[in-house]
Structure 1
Amino acid sequence: MSIDEGVRRLPTQEITTHTDSREILANAAADTERYGLDDYFIVDVDSHHVELDSWPEILQYLDNPVLRDTANQMMRNWPNAGRLALHNHSPGLTMQDVSGRIPHQAALAEETPGSEGGAHRDVTLVRRAMEAMSIDLQVVFPQPMLETGLHPQPQVATALLQAYNRWFTAEVLPREPRIKTMLGLPFEDPEACLATVEEFADHPGVIGFLVTSQRHAGVHRNAYMPLYRMLEERGLPIGFHAGPNQADSMTSTMNRFLSAHSMSFVTCNMTHMTNWVINGIPERFPGLKTIWIESGLAWVPFMMQRLDHEYFMRQSDAPLLTKPPSHYIREMYYTSQPMEWTDDALLESTLCAIDAQNSLMYSSDWPHWDFDVPGKIAAIPFLDDHAKRNILGETARKVFGL
Structure 2
Amino acid sequence: MKEQTLPIIDTDVHHSPDKKEVLAHMPKALAARGLALPGGNGFGNPHGVNRRDATPPGGGEACSDPAYTLEHHFVPNQIRYGILHPAGLLAAGVSADYRYAAALCSAYNDYMLESWLSFDPRYVGAILVAPNWPEAAAREIRRLGGRPEFREIIMTSASESPLGREQYWPIYEAACEMGLPVAVHPGAEGNGISNRPYAGMPSSYFEWHTSLSQNYMGQIASLAIEGVFNQFPELKFVAIEGGIAWLPHLLWRLDKNWKALRELTPWLTEPPSELIRRHVRLTTQPIEEPEKPEHLLQIFDMIHAEETLMFSSDYPHWDGDDPRFVLPRKLDEAARKRIFYDNAAELYGLPPQESTVSEEAANSATPTN
Q: Give the alignment's TM-score, normalised by structure 1.
A: 0.78
How far 1:103 moved relative to its partner?
Answer: 7.4
Question: Is 1:216 the equivalent of 2:164?
Answer: no
Question: Secondary structure of the residue that 1:182 maps to in structure 2?
Answer: strand
| Cα gap change, 1:106 to 1:252, in 2 (>3 Å) | farther
Whether the 8 Å contact between 1:283 and 1:321 is mirrored in structure 2 is yes
Distance 1:235 1:274 in 2: 23
User: Structure 1, residues 217-250: CA drift from partner, whole Å, max 9, x if none?
Assistant: 3323334334323322332111122225466354
User: Structure 1, residues 159-179: CA drift from partner, whole Å, max 9, x if none?
Assistant: 221211111122221111100
Identify the structure with the greater helix proportion: 1
Letter in 1 for 2:24: Q
Whether the 8 Å contact between 2:56 and 2:64 is mirrored in structure 1 is no
Q: How many residues align?
A: 341
Whether the 8 Å contact between 1:162 and 1:186 is mirrored in structure 2 is no
Question: Is 1:186 the equivalent of 2:150?
Answer: no
Distance 2:127 2:225 in 1: 26
Q: How does 1:112-131 map to 2 (within 5 A)?
A: 112=58, 121-127=64-70, 128-131=72-75
Question: Secondary structure of the residue that 1:136 maps to in structure 2?
Answer: strand
Question: Secondary structure of the residue that 1:132 maps to in structure 2?
Answer: coil
| Cα gap change, 1:307 to 1:163, in 2 (>3 Å) | same
Question: Is 1:169 the equivalent of 2:113?
Answer: yes
Letter in 1 for 2:28: P
Q: 2:174 corresponds to which residue?
A: 230
Whether the 8 Å contact between 2:238 and 2:282 is mirrored in structure 1 is yes
Distance 1:154 1:287 in 2: 28
Q: Give the alignment's TM-score, normalised by structure 2.
A: 0.85
Question: Secondary structure of the residue that 1:267 maps to in structure 2?
Answer: helix
Whether the 8 Å contact between 1:146 and 1:214 is mirrored in structure 2 is no
Whether the 8 Å contact between 2:244 and 2:288 is mirrored in structure 1 is yes
How far 1:312 moved relative to its partner?
Answer: 1.6
Question: Is 1:306 the equivalent of 2:253?
Answer: yes
Distance 1:325 1:91 in 2: 35
Question: Is 1:347 the equivalent of 2:296?
Answer: yes
Q: 2:203 corresponds to which residue?
A: 255
RMSD: 2.4
Aligned match for 1:202, one of 138, 146, 150: 146
How far 1:258 moved relative to its partner?
Answer: 1.2
How far 1:351 moved relative to its partner?
Answer: 0.9
Gaps in structure 2 of 5+ consecutive residues: 351-369
Whether the 8 Å contact between 2:142 and 2:178 is mirrored in structure 1 is no
Distance 1:250 1:237 in 2: 26
Aligned match for 2:86, one of 142, 157, 163: 142
How far 1:274 moved relative to its partner?
Answer: 1.2
User: Structure 1, residues 101-160: CA drift from partner, whole Å, max 9, x if none?
Assistant: x674479443249xxxxxx95312321211232211111101222323222322222222
Distance 1:352 1:121 in 2: 37
| Cα gap change, 1:108 to 1:90, in 2 (>3 Å) | farther
Aligned match for 1:322, one of 269, 273, 292: 269
Distance 2:158 2:81 in 1: 26
Letter in 2 for 1:350: I
Q: 1:291 corresponds to which residue?
A: 238
Distance 2:25 2:293 in 1: 48
Whether the 8 Å contact between 1:244 and 1:261 is mirrored in structure 2 is no
Whether the 8 Å contact between 2:102 and 2:130 is mirrored in structure 1 is yes
Letter in 2 for 1:364: S
User: Structure 1, residues 262-282: CA drift from partner, whole Å, max 9, x if none?
Assistant: 11x212222221110001211
Question: Secondary structure of the residue that 2:159 maps to in structure 1?
Answer: coil
Q: 2:357 corresponds to which residue?
A: none
Question: Is 1:48 the equivalent of 2:14?
Answer: yes
Question: Rg: which structure is higher?
Answer: 1
How far 1:199 moved relative to its partner?
Answer: 1.7
User: Structure 1, residues 267-315: CA drift from partner, whole Å, max 9, x if none?
Assistant: 2222221110001211222222221111010111111012122212211
Question: Secondary structure of the residue that 1:209 maps to in structure 2?
Answer: strand
Distance 1:246 1:225 in 2: 23
Whether the 8 Å contact between 1:184 and 1:212 is mirrored in structure 2 is no
Whether the 8 Å contact between 2:102 and 2:137 is mirrored in structure 1 is no
Whether the 8 Å contact between 1:240 and 1:269 is mirrored in structure 2 is no
Question: Secondary structure of the residue that 1:211 maps to in structure 2?
Answer: strand
| Cα gap change, 1:260 to 1:178, in 2 (>3 Å) | same
Question: Is 1:57 the equivalent of 2:21?
Answer: yes
Distance 1:354 1:243 in 2: 24
| Cα gap change, 1:271 to 1:106, in 2 (>3 Å) | farther
User: Structure 1, residues 351-376: CA drift from partner, whole Å, max 9, x if none?
Assistant: 11110011110000011111001112
